[in-house]
């Protein structure tokens, strides 16, 4: 009997192969996308939760900013007994870091500099050694597992030495004191190794850091059962007695939970960050696609069941009992869902590599089918089996043969269900298309908007002490290189400024402390980038010695400087230093998520840490030849550090990597939504046309034209798509309005974007059903009237 039921179930499924294919493909795609999106969302929402006692870790803030001086955190630790440990750390500022083992060099892309308490606050799992006792002395290094394996293979590296070289510190022997597990993908930290802070004290400018050098980020771990609100109040009301006079009343300490930094504190620039609103939109998209696929599947299967009344009546007449009919429907549903499950696993396996690349994740196949995802998959399968198999089987098995033969169908109720599904399908599609159009328009604004400086045909690289010692000869040789038009220097890449200063400043006789982004640049910097001088004069060869300053428009405006001669930076008692000699036009030295802030420029002596080269190369081949000539010159003057360059326009686009990712996700989601909607329309159009076959034949016999028949069949599509459009527009507007709040410069939500989204959705819908309508309208009316 089992084999007979299986054969009968397979035969019934194959009786309409097109609808079967639509059902299987639609549900498989929807579940696959849902699993991938929910895996990504779970990873984002669980960021840093892998750390033991992460709820006891807080970031120490100064005036609501993460940058602190080491003396500040030491003072807080001394004053607040509820703190168990406190650590200061920062990412290594040197642009190039290498370690050498047996004459083989290895580059460390991301090196963290931290004190001995770092691994007491952040208890990362250990592979070798004890991390909490591993940064107590100078020249101690903790490696991650993957980097340790890359350097030493599978051997235990504890106690082994490496030759450490950076652009700031060379030829230091460092000892490997511990190896930790690689940071998981749901970590806001991103480093490959940790070096003891005491190592950098060998650099003169590093060890002489006082209260004004607020370049560290500090984290504290509280003792158990400490109330965060009471701790916050205690830290904010700390005594100012032990703070130096120049900083009293200028420093307000506070704390912020480490577990909330990822989503809620984007100003904490040293850690990775996510956008909770964007993630919520992605989650909603995943749910809608999954829900759309499931509803499509259930609706199409249920519609098919409506044609089974006479079939079941015949089976019952031939002696089948209730159990047999229930088994038949359950087997049909179970076979379909089993195929869906196999396809889902296959689709996930095929898409996983691209998905990881798209979302910068590292999911394994087993991770997708585990935890909440596995529970969700089990629930979907069980619920769908019940709705499409068990319940219909029970309903059919309990009805008499005469009731099945004389079944009366409420067409109005049936049409309401079908039309509701149609509205829902295009409601989702119109929202996604609208979001895609807005995101695309905003990203074009970001990429194509003039940042206020030239960025095309410019490449830049980090310099080092070898080049600084031979600056003039290095410059002269580069300027003689074919394809190089000009060069200049600055203290940091123009789009990655992290140096922030606070200085005493006098303006029209009034003294105050001002804070600003600080750039140290060559005298030709503004001419190189075509940044216009608004007033005053440019830097000269004497500007370095005189400590001249140039400010941008925002600084002049916000510092209330009416005339340049009214204001001066207070550096020392020499009245000739600290002169503000000019004002330059504003330009975006940070991403356009934030408005332009105050920037102050000083003149460097010979060269700085970043060199910019403007090329005249107009083809890829000539550009490659120019780069090879630059490398040759570079290696001649800097044999210890290779030429690692970046294109400035590429770096500009990288500032908006998350926006590009969001655009791709919404693009794929919109395509998938339209694909599922079209599948549902194709399936539904089969049943609609099938139910109206005789009506179409009668209309044709009475003289109806093909275009009239097609218009009749397509009228519902037009009507319900317009209803979906009216419902979708305000929701799409609200979602995009909230998303655009992340930008200081934003596009307008014009009416044509919403209109275009509706036209696209309507056009796709009409194209999808028009072929079926045309076939029905051109069919021989004799065949239509004979149809049963």
**Would you say residue 309 has pLDDT above 70?**
no
Same domain, 99 and 241: yes
Phi/psi at 62 (5° precision): -115, 115
Q: How confident is the model at residue 192 (pLDDT cuts 50, 70, 90)?
A: very high
Considering 4-8, 177-181, 719-723, 728-732, the range whose residues carry the highest mean pLDDT is 177-181
Residue 145's pLDDT is: 94
Rounded to an integer, the average pLDDT of 738-760 is 84
Residues 39 and 66 in one domain: no
- Residue that wins the pLDDT comparison between 781 and 566: 566
Greater confidence (177 vs 517) lies with 177
Whether residues 337 and 259 fall in one domain = no
454 vs 416 pLDDT, higher one: 454
Show Cβ contacts of residue 547 under 8 Å, excluding neighbours closer than 6 positions. Answer: 569, 571, 577, 578, 579, 602
Task: Tell me the average pLDDT across 768-777.
Answer: 70
| Same domain as 250, residue 369 | no
Residue 139 has pLDDT above 90, yes or no: yes
Q: What is the pLDDT of residue 530?
A: 92
Q: Quick one: what percent of the chain has pLDDT higher than 90?
A: 28
Q: What would the mean pLDDT of 509-517 be, rounded to a whole number?
A: 84
Is the pLDDT at 142 greater than 90, yes or no?
A: yes
In the predicted structure, residue 347 carries a pLDDT above the cut 90:
yes
Q: Which of 252-256, 347-351, 518-522, 571-575 shows the lowest mean pLDDT across its residues?
A: 571-575
Instruction: Using the predicted structure, report yes or no on whether residue 85 has a pLDDT greater than 90.
Output: yes
Same structural domain for residues 514 and 612? Answer: yes
The pLDDT of residue 666:
80
Predicted local distance difference test score (pLDDT) of residue 219: 94
| Domain stops at, among 229, 264, 299 | 264
What average pLDDT does this structure show over 702-710?
Answer: 73
End-to-end, the C-alpha distance of the chain in Å comes to 31
Rounded mean pLDDT, 496-503? 75
**Range of lowest pLDDT (9-13, 107-111, 146-150, 473-477):** 9-13
If pLDDT is split at 50, 70 and 90, which confidence band does 109 have? confident
Mean pLDDT value of segment 548-569? 90
- Reported confidence tier of residue 307, pLDDT bands at 50, 70, 90: low
Residue 432 lies in a domain: yes
Please report which confidence band the pLDDT of residue 613 belongs to, taking 50, 70 and 90 as the band edges: very high
Minimum mean pLDDT range among 137-141, 302-306, 675-679? 302-306
Q: Name the 3-class secondary structure at 487.
A: strand
pLDDT at 15 over 90: no
With 0-12 / 13-18 / 19 or more C-beta atoms within 10 angstroms meaning exposed / middle / buried, residue 515 is middle
Q: Where are the alpha helices (DSSP H) in 410-563?
A: 411-448, 465-468, 471-479, 525-528, 543-546, 553-558
Cα dist. 661→264, 281, 358, 507, 613 in Å? 20, 13, 7, 46, 30
Q: What is the DSSP letter of 388?
A: I
**Is 424 a domain residue?**
yes
**What is the residue whose two structure tokens read 């509820």?**
82
Q: Is residue 270 part of a domain?
A: no
Q: Is the pLDDT of residue 573 over 60?
A: no
Q: What is the pLDDT of residues 522-548, one digit of tens each?
A: 888 999 999 999 999 998 878 887 888
Q: Determine contact, residues 427/724, Cβ cutoff 8 Å.
A: yes
Q: pLDDT higher for 28 or 428? A: 28
Q: Looking at residues 382-389, what average pLDDT do you find?
A: 81
The pLDDT of residue 211 is 76
Average pLDDT over residues 472-500: 87
Indicate whether 519 and 600 sit together in one domain.
yes
Enumerate the β-bridge partners of residue 501: 516
DSSP state of 110: S
pLDDT of residue 516: 86
> Does residue 396 have a pLDDT over 70?
no
Alpha carbon distances (Å) from 488 to 522, 525, 617: 6, 6, 18
Q: Which of 264, 295, 310 delimits the end of a domain?
A: 264
Cα(14)–Cα(75) distance, rounded to whole angstroms?
A: 77
Q: What is the pLDDT of residues 249-269, one digit of tens each?
A: 668 889 999 999 999 888 787
Which segment, 387-401, 411-425, 548-562, 753-767, is predicted with the most confidence on average?
548-562
What's the confidence (pLDDT) of residue 395? 61
The answer to whether residue 317 is domain-embedded is yes
Q: Which segment of 16-30, 134-148, 156-170, 383-397 scores lowest on mean pLDDT?
A: 383-397
Per the structure, how many domains does the chain have? 4
**Per-residue pLDDT at 210:** 72
> pLDDT-derived band of residue 392, with 50, 70 and 90 as boundaries?
low
Q: What is the pLDDT of residues 37-61, one digit of tens each?
A: 999 999 999 999 999 999 999 999 9
pLDDT band per the 50, 70, 90 thresholds, residue 619: confident
Q: What percent of the chain has pLDDT over 70?
A: 85
Instruction: Identify the three-state secondary structure at position 219.
Output: strand
pTM summary value: 0.78
Once rounded to an integer, what is the mean pLDDT over residues 184-207? 87
What's 607's DSSP letter? -
**Structure token pair of residue 69:** 């001086």
The whole-angstrom separation of Cα 684 and Cα 23 is 11
Q: Is the residue at 402 inside a domain? A: yes
Q: Is residue 165 part of a domain?
A: yes
Kindly tell me the sign of the dihedral angle through the C-alpha atoms of 774, 779, 781, 785.
negative
pLDDT, tens digit (0-9, with 9 covering 90-100), for 649-673:
888 888 888 778 888 888 888 788 7
Nearest Cα to Cα of residue 117 among 130, 137, 132: 132
Task: Give yes or no for residue 470 having a pLDDT over 50.
Answer: yes
467 vs 574 pLDDT, higher one? 467
Q: Answer with the residue of higher pLDDT: 585 or 577.
A: 585
pLDDT digits (tens, 9 = 90+) for 432-466: 888 888 888 888 887 777 888 898 899 999 888 88
- Half-sphere exposure (Cβ direction) of 209: Cα atoms closer than 13 Å: 18
Beta bridge partners of 174: 162
Reference 441, options 73, 752, 778; nearest CA is 752
Convert 130-168 into a string of H (helix), E (strand) and C (coil).
CHHHCCCCCCEEEEEHHHHHHHHCCCCCCCCEEEEEECC
Mean pLDDT of the chain: 83
Tell me: pLDDT of 412 over 60. no
If asked whether residues 127 and 164 sit together in one domain, one would say yes
Q: What is the pLDDT of residue 788?
A: 47
Q: 72 and 39, same structural domain?
A: no
Among residues 619, 654, 689, the one where a domain terminates is 654
Instruction: Answer whether residue 286 is part of any domain.
Output: yes
Mean pLDDT on 569-589? 82
Residues 563 and 672 in one domain: no
**Are both 663 and 699 inside the same structural domain?**
yes
Rounded mean pLDDT, 509-525: 86
413 has pLDDT over 60: no
- Say what the pLDDT of residue 36 is: 92
Whether residue 41 is found in the same domain as residue 59: no
The answer to the question of residue 413 being in a domain is no
Q: Is the pLDDT of residue 410 over 60?
A: no
What pLDDT, on a 0 to 100 scale, did the predictor assign at position 422?
A: 73
Answer yes or no: is pLDDT of 582 > 60. yes
Assess whether 701 and 733 both reside in one domain: yes
Q: Find tokens 């500032």 and name the residue.
A: 655
**Structural domain boundaries enclosing 83:** 54-264
How many C-beta atoms lie closer than 10 Å to residue 559's C-beta? 17
- 639 pLDDT more than 80: yes
């Amino acid at each position: 009997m089992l084999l007979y039921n299986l054969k009968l179930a397979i035969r019934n499924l194959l009786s309409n192969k097109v609808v079967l294919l639509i059902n299987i493909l639609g549900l498989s795609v929807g579940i696959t996308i849902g699993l991938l999106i929910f895996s990504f969302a779970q990873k984002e929402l669980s960021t840093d939760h892998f750390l033991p006692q992460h709820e006891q870790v807080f970031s120490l803030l100064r005036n609501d900013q993460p940058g602190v001086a080491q003396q500040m955190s030491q003072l807080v630790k001394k004053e607040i007994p509820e703190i168990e440990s406190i650590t200061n750390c920062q990412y290594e500022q040197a642009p190039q870091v290498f370690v050498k083992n047996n004459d083989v060099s290895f580059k460390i892309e991301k090196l963290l500099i931290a004190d001995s308490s770092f691994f007491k606050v952040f208890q990362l799992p250990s592979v070798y050694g004890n991390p909490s006792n591993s940064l107590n002395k100078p020249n101690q290094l903790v490696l991650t597992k993957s980097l340790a394996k890359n350097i030493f293979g599978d051997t235990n590296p504890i106690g082994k030495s490496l030759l450490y070289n950076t652009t700031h510190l060379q030829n230091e022997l460092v000892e490997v004191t511990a190896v930790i597990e690689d940071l998981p993908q749901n970590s806001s930290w991103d480093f490959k190794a940790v070096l003891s802070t005491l190592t950098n004290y060998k650099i003169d400018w590093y060890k002489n850091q006082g209260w004004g050098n607020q370049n560290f980020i500090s984290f504290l771990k509280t003792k158990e059962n400490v109330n965060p609100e009471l701790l916050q109040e205690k830290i904010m009301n700390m005594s100012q007695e032990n703070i130096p006079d120049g900083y009293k009343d200028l420093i307000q300490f506070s704390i912020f939970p480490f577990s909330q930094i990822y989503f809620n504190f984007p100003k904490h620039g040293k850690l990775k960050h996510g956008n909770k609103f964007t993630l919520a939109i992605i989650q909603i998209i995943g749910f809608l696609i999954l829900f759309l696929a499931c509803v499509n599947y259930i609706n199409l299967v249920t519609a098919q069941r409506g044609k089974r009344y006479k079939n079941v009546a015949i089976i019952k007449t031939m002696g089948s009992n209730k159990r047999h009919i229930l088994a038949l429907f359950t087997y049909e549903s179970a076979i379909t869902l089993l195929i869906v499950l196999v396809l889902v696993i296959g689709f996930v396996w095929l898409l996983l590599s691209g998905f990881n690349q798209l979302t910068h994740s590292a999911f394994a196949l087993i991770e997708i089918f585990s935890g909440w995802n596995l529970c969700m998959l089990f629930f979907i399968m069980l619920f769908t089996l019940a709705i499409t198999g068990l319940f219909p089987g029970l309903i059919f098995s309990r009805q008499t043969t005469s009731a099945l033969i004389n079944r009366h169908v409420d067409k109005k109720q049936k049409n309401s269900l079908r039309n509701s599904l149609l509205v829902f399908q295009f409601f989702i599609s119109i929202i996604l298309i609208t979001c895609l159009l807005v995101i695309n328009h905003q990203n074009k604004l970001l990429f194509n908007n003039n940042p206020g400086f030239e960025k095309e045909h410019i490449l830049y690289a980090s310099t080092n002490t070898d080049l600084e010692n031979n600056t003039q000869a290095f410059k002269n040789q580069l300027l003689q290189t074919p394809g190089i038009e000009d060069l200049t220097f600055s203290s940091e890449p123009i789009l990655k400024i992290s140096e922030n200063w606070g200085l005493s400043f006098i303006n029209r006789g009034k003294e105050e402390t001002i804070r600003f982004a600080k750039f140290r640049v060559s005298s030709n910097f503004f001419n190189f980038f075509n940044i216009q001088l608004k007033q005053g004069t440019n830097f000269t060869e004497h500007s370095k010695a005189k400590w001249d300053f140039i400010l941008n428009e925002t600084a002049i405006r916000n510092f209330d400087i009416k005339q340049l001669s009214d204001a001066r930076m207070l550096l020392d008692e020499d009245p000739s230093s600290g002169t503000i000699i000019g004002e330059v036009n504003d330009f975006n030295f940070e991403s356009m998520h934030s408005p332009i802030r105050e920037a102050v420029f000083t003149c460097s002596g010979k060269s700085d840490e970043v060199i910019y080269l403007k090329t005249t190369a107009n083809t890829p081949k000539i550009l490659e030849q120019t780069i090879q000539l630059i490398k040759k010159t570079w290696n001649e003057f800097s044999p210890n550090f290779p030429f690692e360059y970046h294109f400035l326009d590429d770096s500009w686009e990288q500032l908006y990597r998350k926006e590009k990712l969001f655009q791709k996700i919404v693009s794929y989601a919109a395509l998938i939504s339209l694909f599922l909607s079209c599948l549902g329309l194709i399936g539904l159009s089969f049943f609609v046309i099938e139910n109206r076959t005789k009506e179409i034949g009668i209309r044709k016999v009475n003289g109806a034209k093909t275009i009239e028949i097609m218009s009749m069949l397509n009228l519902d599509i037009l009507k319900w798509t317009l209803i979906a459009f009216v419902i979708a527009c305000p929701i799409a507007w609200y979602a995009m309005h909230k998303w655009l709040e992340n930008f200081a410069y934003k596009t307008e939500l014009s009416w044509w974007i919403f209109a275009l989204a509706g036209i696209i959705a309507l056009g796709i819908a009409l194209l999808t059903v028009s072929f079926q309508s045309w076939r029905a309208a051109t069919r021989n009316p004799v065949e239509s009237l004979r149809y049963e």
